[in-house]
Structure 1
Amino acid sequence: MQIEQLQKEMIAAMKAKDKPRKDAISSLVSAVKKTAIDEGCRDDIKEELVNRVILKEMKTVKEQIDSCPAERTDLLAEYQQRYDIMSEYAPAMLSEEEVRKILTEKFADVIATKNKGQIMKTVMPELKGKADGKLIGQVVAELCK
């Protein structure tokens, strides 16, 4: 996702007077800009950075959903709506089959060592942000058996 596209979506939500959508997208844009400033690339925001920030913000909202008391249905609904809106902009994650295929094709030599720590150290830079970390760990554990 490009930052410009995210900003266009926010403007469209403002014009449609869709406050929850505008708020969710606005928080994503703000988080992306803050991270870009922190990383020193304010003028050249890469798609990878935007995707990373979207996933991080989604994780935060998911934690809010999980920790919200069940009797606070109003807050729970608000958090869920925000999560659903953010997930529209999140990058597509790799499936278990795709992760397994990448691991067996690209990293066969490392997997042959059966050293799970070394495998994860080698594999994670390639798959980070493209697949769920837990899923990667499960596939690696299966391949190390």
Structure 2
Amino acid sequence: MSLLETLNQDMKTAMKAKDKTTLSVVRMLKSAVMNEQINLGHDLTNDEEVAVLSRELKQRKDSVAEFDKGGREDLSAQTKAEITVVEKYMPAQLSEDEVKQIVADTVAEVGAQSMADFGKVMGAVMPKLKGQADGKLVNQTVKDLLK
């Protein structure tokens, strides 16, 4: 079942359950996926769907950080609930140890020696971890291994 079909089913379920938070998030996700399809002019591949979901998740995480900084606990709590809904559609996330192992393998693979090779390592490791790990975690792990 494609992501759009899943979103449609979940939207119907949320409507029947009168779950306003889930319904609004599912609608936003469906809209984002459909907009991406229109922009690209074809049905989305799994990688493209994950990219859309990752973008939506990142936006919400950034919003939570801003709301917390501004002392808006009400908006922060609402956005955290939205994050929970978005995460249901994301691929399973890798643990920190799994990310560290993949990054270590990639560092050895590209022959990175110092921080000067940071871009080369990130360019090689991000396609491997697309949607399976938070970019900040990957970035920090690469920095730690290249010190």
* Pairwise same-fold verdict (TM > 0.5): yes
Cα deviation code 1:29-86 (max 9, x no counterpart): 1111101111221xx232222222122112212222222342x444333322222222
Greater helix share, 1 or 2? 2
In the alignment, residue 124 of structure 1 is paired with which amino acid? M
Q: Could you say which residue in structure 2 is the equivalent of 1:18?
A: 19
Give 3-state SS (helix, strand or coil) of 2:88's partner.
Answer: helix
> What is the aligned counterpart of 1:129 among 103, 117, 131?
131
Give the Cα–Cα distance (whole angstroms) in 2 for the partners of residues 54 and 19 of structure 1. 20
Q: How does 1:1-145 map to 2 (within 5 A)?
A: 2-41=3-42, 44-68=43-67, 69-70=70-71, 72-105=72-105, 107-114=107-114, 115-145=117-147
Please report how far the alpha carbon of residue 26 of structure 1 lies from its aligned counterpart in structure 2 after TM superposition.
0.7
Please report how far the alpha carbon of residue 112 of structure 1 lies from its aligned counterpart in structure 2 after TM superposition.
4.3
Give the Cα–Cα distance (whole angstroms) in 1 for the partners of residues 82 and 36 of structure 2. 20
Cα deviation code 1:9-29 (max 9, x no counterpart): 111111222222111111101
RMSD, aligned CA: 2.2
Paired residues in the alignment total: 142
Give 3-state SS (helix, strand or coil) of 1:89's partner.
Answer: coil
Do the aligned partners of 1:10 and 1:26 also contact (CA within 8 Å) in 2?
Answer: yes
Please report how far the alpha carbon of residue 98 of structure 1 lies from its aligned counterpart in structure 2 after TM superposition.
1.0
Please report how far the alpha carbon of residue 119 of structure 1 lies from its aligned counterpart in structure 2 after TM superposition.
1.6
What TM-score, normalized by structure 1, do the two folds share? 0.81
Provide closer, same or farther for how the CA distance between residues 74 and 99 of structure 1 changes in structure 2, counting only shifts above 3 A.
Answer: closer
Task: Using the TM superposition, name which of 18-27 and 59-68 deviates more.
Answer: 59-68
Give 3-state SS (helix, strand or coil) of 1:117's partner.
Answer: helix
Give 3-state SS (helix, strand or coil) of 2:81's partner.
Answer: helix
Give 3-state SS (helix, strand or coil) of 1:91's partner.
Answer: coil
Give 3-state SS (helix, strand or coil) of 1:129's partner.
Answer: coil
Provide closer, same or farther for how the CA distance between residues 139 and 62 of structure 1 changes in structure 2, counting only shifts above 3 A.
Answer: closer
Give 3-state SS (helix, strand or coil) of 2:56's partner.
Answer: helix
What TM-score, normalized by structure 2, do the two folds share? 0.80
Do the aligned partners of 1:10 and 1:25 also contact (CA within 8 Å) in 2?
Answer: yes
